[in-house]
Amino acid sequence: MENEEKYNIKCEGITTSVQIKGKGKSLKYQVKLPEFKPATMALLENIKSKLILEMDISGVEMFDQKVVERLKKQFKHRSEDLIKEELPKLSAEVKKQLTSKLIRDMLGLGNFEFLLSDEQLEEIVVNSSNEPARVYHKRYGWLVSNIKPENEAQIQNYANIIARRVGRQITTLTPLLDAHLVTGDRSNAVLFPISTKGNTITIRKFARDPWTMVDFIRNNTLSSEIFALLWLAFEYELNVLFSGGTAAGKTSMLNVCMPFIPPNHRIISIEDTRELQLPKHLYWTPLTTRQPNIEGKGEVKMLDLLVNSLRMRPDRIILGEVRRSQESEVMFEAMHTGHSVYATVHADSMLETIRRLVNPPINTPPNLLNAVDLNIVMFRDRRRGIRRAMQIGEFLLSEEGDKVYAKPNLLYRWNPNKDKIVPHSASQKLFEKLSEHTGMNMSEINKELKNKKVILDWMVKQNLRDIKSVGDVMKNYYLDPEAVLKKATTKKTVRKKK
């Protein structure tokens, strides 16, 4: 039986449809593209020439999101005027489609802008001009699209556009590009003959509507009970590492936990590419690395930013991913000097996380791992298409002679048969650390965890899932926790409108 889904997307002022068609694993992604007659296309080329002469489209301007929006408005008004001069009797709908095409072609990536506008897509890949682009859909995985580059020159032109907007070049001598679009989407390009099939572009899309803990509770990624524990850990400045394999959801889980931080704490985040999205009420300074220019100058490494962040009086430091020994050394130094640190590590289990940290190329002395209070391990089940928090635990130290070893103590684990997080072992240091930081005894900590779970369950019930709504609840909680708890336990509440 043929599977089929149809939905609409909006791109540069026009609405068009997307259809998922096919059987089983042979699904195709089809965008309904506007069609124009040859005479209309010739007219558009003429208008393009006039716009190029009249409007200043500089790479510097295109790097600024606000300036881009302002430029698009000016571009749109001038395009409409030129179209009206050439074809005064044209209908309003057709004028809108022509204006949209001009904006896509001159300020964007042509028909690929339709793919960038679809919030259901996570990845867009162009392998060469000999085959259509492929997309990674949130529900269906990899699909072949009906959008195909005209030729290799067009792919290279798109790569050049992306490069110019970040002040870089991609040429035969420098055939590799790793950059991000104005929207925040991450782009990678490799030119022929390094990519032997042809010029290639890969775009990883930046979430316009980021996940929140409400989404994760609803889709069973993690329970409200464990989120209550994480809330307490983040509120009282414990250090947390997030582990997982490729695309397991490490950064997503890290981002989901950020609203738990009190609004009066200064947050410094350090990333290779800006992925984190925090509520506006948080006191946040995001920093990103920079690659060297064509002359090999101007590089800003993660280590540079990490060292610099310690001079910015941070309360919390968020590190994109720990990859090298120097980064690890500075990170653990920050932990031991009283800063709360949150970071991601590429590892598939708690034991593998320890191995990654203590062995090359990171080479962290095992005794430093005692500063990590919690380790969350994310897992992606590719067969079922789900992501789960697979392990939650702490690191313990043991001594054998003169040597110190770090070992995992698994507190909670995911039971795949029941698709549920279940308790595994009792904590040996987490609650003791929480007691030190909070001044509460175990009975009071349990009461606090229960209250936080009640608030989280209420947020799920009320569908308070977008980042603004979540941010508002957390902000109000830190202003008056009793008022928020009272609201959450009152039966007569008004469901938030979608």
Q: So what's the pLDDT on residue 446?
A: 96
Tokens of 13: 């002022």
Q: Average model confidence (pLDDT) for the chain?
A: 89
Mean pLDDT of 484-498: 71
- CA distances 344 to 244, 299, 305, 337, 394, Å, are 8, 22, 16, 20, 15
CB 302 within 8 A of CB 362: no
Q: How confident is the model at residue 498 (pLDDT cuts 50, 70, 90)?
A: very low
Q: How confident is the model at residue 309 (pLDDT cuts 50, 70, 90)?
A: very high
Please state the three-class secondary structure of 385-404 as a single string.
Answer: CEEEEEEEEEEEEEEECCEE
Q: Sketch the domain layout of the chain as residue ranges.
A: 3-204, 213-489
Residue 65 clears pLDDT 80, i.e. is over it: no
Q: How far apart are CA 334 and CA 292, in angstroms?
A: 27
Helix H or strand E segment including 472: helix 467-479
Residue type, 469: S
Mean pLDDT of 1-6: 68
CATH fold of 3-204: Beta-Lactamase (3.30.450)
Residue 486 clears pLDDT 90, i.e. is over it: yes
Q: So what's the pLDDT on residue 3?
A: 56
Q: Going by CATH, does the domain composed of 213-489 fall within 3.40.50.300?
A: yes
Residue 1 clears pLDDT 50, i.e. is over it: no
Residue 149 clears pLDDT 80, i.e. is over it: yes
Residue with the bigger pLDDT between 296 and 485: it is 485
Q: How far apart are CA 356 and CA 73, in angstroms?
A: 50
Which residue, 141, 144, 153, is CA-closest to 125?
144
Mean pLDDT of 272-292: 87
Tell me what percent of the residues of the chain surpass a pLDDT of 90. 60
Q: So what's the pLDDT on residue 103?
A: 84
pLDDT digits (tens, 9 = 90+) for 361-412: 999 999 999 999 999 999 998 778 789 999 999 999 998 888 999 999 999 9
